[in-house]
Amino acid sequence: MVVCSLLLHIVAAAAAAGEQPNFLLIVADDLTWRDLGYEGNQEVHTPNLDRLCQESMHLSGMFTPATTCSPSRHALYTGLFPIRSGAYPNHTRVYDGTKSMFTLLKEAGYRVALQNKTHVGPPASFPFERIQGADDLTATEVFLRRDDAQPWLLVYASNDPHGPWTRGPKKRFDPAKLTVPSYLHDNQVTRNQLAAYYAEVSKLDNQVGALLKLLDDCGASDNTLVMFVSEQGSSFPYGGKWSVYDNGIRASTLVRWPGKVEPGSSSAALLQYVDVAPTFLEAAGVDPTQVDVHCPDARGASGFDGRSFLKVLTGQEQAFRDYVFAQHTNVGIHGFREPYPMRAVR
């Protein structure tokens, strides 16, 4: 009861001071970290994300603890490693009763929504308002404008550029003129697939541009913390999705927060997806070290696995973690039944 009262007091004080920001978390789908203009890829076309980078802190040391969609997203939304939360391997869910950042921010007075791809469960642990589809922002605008007095969390979970790469401007990329990465076999099939993948990266970039324009139109940009994450690597072979090499686990990440985060800045601090939920909670005025996620670990502790990196964002700290951890199994993927486990410490 003492802890609950303290949390309510902190949240109430933050709300009274007008300090609770909105949160827009943009999650790509199977996007290799290096396949973005601001990451040095000169062949993709990502003007909106490149502009967002100029307005943000570029976090070059962010990693996912798992390299399939469901475990990655569960870690991002819960602050827990998948092996602890139960959301491991792919196409699984957290243990009943587990609280996510949707639950916790809702308890802190936020409206919470997720648009498009879910891939998390059970619903009781993720009590978001569901907004269907990724390309029509009509319902998104209704959600943003519903109540100016109440802060909100919106997770925009795109399906792009997840395979089979059938969307986006097909004629923008000439397969014959592309530079095939050295770790891929250079043949016509690879070139055709790379062109289709880059087209879908462009589709994602268009979505990001539309979202940022909507924030401006709603007058919400100045009080919204925007985070973009590339999720995990693409499904090209040799060290992407389904592996724990850098192309699989490294996540290109941007954070824009006007007045709090220096535009055009960067940090190489080692971070993990499990650190995102605690960071959002602290930014909202809730002490993440006092949160009970209702999913105890082997020692009986029921707090986050992750820690808030708010001081990294505000420039008060340069270093954060000494290492990051990732794991993968092919169980639950394309009918595989025999485990092929991988683990990595970086």
Separation CA 87–CA 65 (nearest Å): 12
Q: How confident is the model over 284-301, as a mean pLDDT? A: 97
Q: Does the pLDDT at position 333 exceed 80? A: no
Q: What percent of the chain has pLDDT over 70?
A: 92
* Banded model confidence at residue 329, pLDDT cuts 50, 70, 90: confident
Q: How confident is the model over 102-106, as a mean pLDDT? A: 99
* Residues 241-267 pLDDT 10s: 878 889 999 999 999 999 999 999 999
Separation CA 129–CA 143 (nearest Å): 9
Per-residue pLDDT, 1: 40
Give, for 188, the enclosing helix (H) or strand (E). Answer: helix 188-217
* Residues 136-173 pLDDT 10s: 999 999 999 999 899 999 999 999 999 999 999 989 99
**CATH code of the domain in which 46 resides:** 3.40.720.10
Q: Does the pLDDT at position 343 exceed 80? A: yes
* Banded model confidence at residue 336, pLDDT cuts 50, 70, 90: low
Domain interval for residue 250: 2-345
Q: How confident is the model over 106-131, as a mean pLDDT? A: 97
CA geometry: angle at 303 spanning 298 and 305, to 5°? 75
Q: How many domains does the chain have?
A: 1
Separation CA 194–CA 300 (nearest Å): 47
Q: Does the pLDDT at position 175 exceed 60? A: yes
Q: Does the pLDDT at position 231 exceed 90? A: yes
Q: Running DSSP on this structure, what letter comes out for residue 338?
A: S
Q: Which two tokens stand for residue 95?
A: 């243990």
* Banded model confidence at residue 340, pLDDT cuts 50, 70, 90: confident
Q: What are the distances in angstroms from CA 223 to CA 27, 66, 218?
A: 20, 31, 11
Q: How confident is the model over 19-38, as a mean pLDDT? A: 97
Separation CA 134–CA 156 (nearest Å): 8
* Residues 302-328 pLDDT 10s: 999 999 999 999 999 999 999 999 988
Q: Does the pLDDT at position 234 exceed 70? A: yes
Core vs surface per residue 242-275: b (16+ CB within 10 A) or e: bbbbbbbbbbbbbbbbeeebeeeeebebbbbbbb
**Mean pLDDT estimate for the chain:** 92
Q: Say if CB 54 and CB 263 are below 8 A apart.
A: yes
Omega cis (within 30) before 89: yes
Q: Does the pLDDT at position 12 exceed 60? A: no
Q: What are the distances in angstroms from CA 138 to CA 17, 115, 130, 150, 255?
A: 31, 12, 13, 20, 25
* Banded model confidence at residue 239, pLDDT cuts 50, 70, 90: low
Residue with tokens 């921010």: 105
* Banded model confidence at residue 18, pLDDT cuts 50, 70, 90: low
